[in-house]
Each structure stands twice: as C-alpha cells, then as structure tokens.
Amino acid sequence: MNLKVDEKADALYLRLDDSKIVESEEVSSGVVLDYNEQNQVVGIEILHLSKRSPKLNLKELQFQTT
C-alpha cells in the first residue's frame, strides 16, 4: 500500500496494490476510484484536499491499525 500527497495538485492518492489500472470512475465530486482487470478497487484519489480538511497538516499524516 502506498499513500501519496501532492500539495501542488491538492490531492491525496492511496494505492492498494500494483495491479494495472484499467478503469477510473469519479464516484463522488472529487473522489476517483481506480479499478483493475478484476473490477477491484486498487486506488483512491481525493481531490481538493485542503477544502475537505482545511486544518490538515500534510507533514503529520497519521494512520492506525487495529
């Protein structure tokens, strides 16, 4: 899994695996899902990140596992 934040594009991209992307679909305004050949979601892009989370500090992204 790979998480990338592009400050210039104001976007966050979460890549779940390395399979080839064959289709992308905007499922909500500014939220794009990438699909592989098996129609599985392998990537999630969130656009307009600063507007969605104005107090987000990109230098301190955190994650949790349980």
- DSSP code string of 46-58: EE-HHHHSTT--G
Instruction: Give domain status of residue 47, yes or no.
Output: yes
Tokens coding 51: 């507007």
Helix (H/G/I), strand (E/B), else coil: 15: strand
Query: What pLDDT score was predicted for residue 65?
Result: 76
Instruction: Give domain status of residue 35, yes or no.
Output: yes
Number of domains in the chain: 1
- For the chain, helix (H) and strand (E) counts, in that order, are 1, 5
What is the arithmetic mean of pLDDT over 16-45? 98
Position 63 pLDDT exceeds 90: no
**CB contact set of 63 (below 8 Å; sequence gap of 6+):** 3
Supply the range of the domain harboring residue 44: 2-51
Whose tokens are 């969605």? That residue is 52
Instruction: Give domain status of residue 62, yes or no.
Output: no
pTM (two decimals): 0.84
Instruction: Give domain status of residue 57, yes or no.
Output: no
33 φ, ψ (degrees, to nearest 5): -105, 135
What is the arithmetic mean of pLDDT over 36-46? 98
Instruction: Give domain status of residue 22, yes or no.
Output: yes
